Amino acid sequence: MSYSIFQSGRSRRNGTFHNLESGIEEQIEALRNELAELTRLVGKSSRHQGEKIRSQAGAGYEELLGRSEDLLRELQHGYERGTTEMRETVRKHPLATIGAAAGFGLAIAFLARR
């Protein structure tokens, strides 16, 4: 009786199990191939997206740099105008300027004492 059980197990192993095993191996190989293709596609897509983002960032940087240079020029011109106006005011009203400076100094001294 035990001989017949082992015998039927061997025939299954050699027949049906062998077919099942080779079917599973084929499926695993197909999955490996699909996974390799998917990895390749994701890598290609990632490179493309990276290049696109890098290009957009470069354009944004150039625009920001241009705007900051314009802003710096505007600030410099404003500073020069303010300096010129202050010099004109000091030349036209020297006593008022000295009085304003003294009042400002007294206010700072008063606040510093507290």
Where in the chain are the domains? 18-81, 84-113
The residue ranking higher by pLDDT, 43 or 72, is 72
| pLDDT surpasses 70 at 14 | no
17-21: average pLDDT: 77
Q: What is the pLDDT of residue 98?
A: 92
Q: What is the pLDDT of residue 59?
A: 86
Q: What is the pLDDT of residue 42?
A: 85
| pLDDT surpasses 50 at 3 | no
97/81 Cα distance (integer angstroms): 18
Q: What is the pLDDT of residue 78?
A: 94
Contact 97, 90 (CB under 8 A): yes
Q: What is the pLDDT of residue 5?
A: 47
pLDDT for 48-84, tens place per residue? 888 888 888 888 888 888 899 999 999 999 999 999 9
Q: What is the pLDDT of residue 15?
A: 63
Question: What are the CB-based long-range contacts (under 8 Å, 24+) for 53-58?
Answer: none
pTM of the full structure: 0.43
Element (H, E) at 1: none
